[in-house]
Copies of this chain bind each other. A is one copy, B any other.
Amino acid sequence: MVGAVRDASPRWSERQLADWAEPQLARVEDALSRWVGIDAPVLLGEAMRYAVLDGGKRLRPLLVLAASEAVAPLAPARTAIGDAALRAACAVELIHAYSLVHDDLPCMDNDVLRRGKPTVHVKFGEADALLAGDALQALAFELLVPDEADIPAAVQARLVRLLTRAAGSQGMAGGQAIDLASVGRRLSESELREMHRLKTGALLQGSVEMGAACAGELPAVVLAGLRDYGAAIGLAFQVVDDILDVVADSETLGKTAGKDAAADKPTYVSLLGLEGARASAQQLLAQALAALERSALSDTAALRALAHMVVDRDR
């Protein structure tokens, strides 16, 4: 029985996750380095590459790649999945990177430190940072619709559809707008959850769904399981972010710690307390793992390990 095999597969060690992730990350870094900011004029290309290369945990690309591997056995023709997944992995990272560049601008969070380096506008000026973010968003979608690649047009269109929804006014940008409007206000837990579902969750969930979309049409039970998994780790990620903002120092985080409290922003910690937030993260992890069980996929070891990583990380 497939279920028994799946349940019996042991949880990956950190080493096993690293062994899986390393070659994946090498492919992503190589692709980003080939695709980002090449042939862009003057400082724009340099600012785009500075914003994207050599930085970040690449969690979203790993989610795309892990999801695409999990569904690969269900795909009608397996050949094009790898190329589509690599492009989708880079595209979600570009959306993430552009959102950080714009988020750090003086009119938003006015942050000077990101991944241990000066933020893009500190290094290149505000105008070029703004344009670099804009160009990274366009490039994210461009990567999904290659002219010559062997990716079915229906898959290309589906990937664009999922990414626009994850990134736009009913996804990430919408969540950021709620965040802006919430500074200094008291939010209920459900309001806070809605904000984070959009602001951070939509792109993490979208990453999982895009990985799945690389395989073409899939059974509804698989899609639902992966969607629920993505939603749970999307929220868990933000809960852990809020915890780390309180307990970690800036050096470990590679960005300014304690800034939510300083900005009087509502967080899971301010709402639930530190222990309450930790309990919430564990509960969301359990939900994510249960959703994977429901997906009836046979090989979800990487997705499970990533869920644990999201909750157990210290930066």
Contact = CB atoms under 8 A, between A and B. Distances in A.
Interface in A124-148: 125-128, 130-131, 133-135, 137-139, 141-142, 144-145, 147
Nearest to A37: B169
Nearest to A162: B145
A261 interface: no
Nearest to A36: B169
A177 B170 CA distance: 29
Interface stretch (A150-158, A241-249, A251-259): A150-158
B134 A173 contact: yes
A197 B171 CA distance: 33
A135 B138 CA distance: 12
Interface in A235-282: none
B102 A177 contact: no
A19 interface: no
Indicate the size class of the contact surface on chain A. 35 or more
A64 interface: no
Query: For the complex formed by this chain, how many copies does it contain in all?
Result: 2
A143 B149 CA distance: 23
A303 B81 CA distance: 42
A142 B48 CA distance: 23
A161 interface: yes
A74 interface: no
A156 B161 CA distance: 10
A193 interface: no
30 contacts: A37-B169, A39-B169, A41-B169, A42-B178, A43-B177, A43-B181, A44-B174, A44-B177, A48-B169, A98-B134, A102-B130, A107-B107, A107-B125, A108-B127, A108-B130, A127-B180, A128-B177, A130-B130, A131-B173, A131-B176, A131-B177, A133-B134, A135-B168, A135-B169, A135-B173, A139-B168, A141-B141, A141-B160, A142-B160, A142-B165
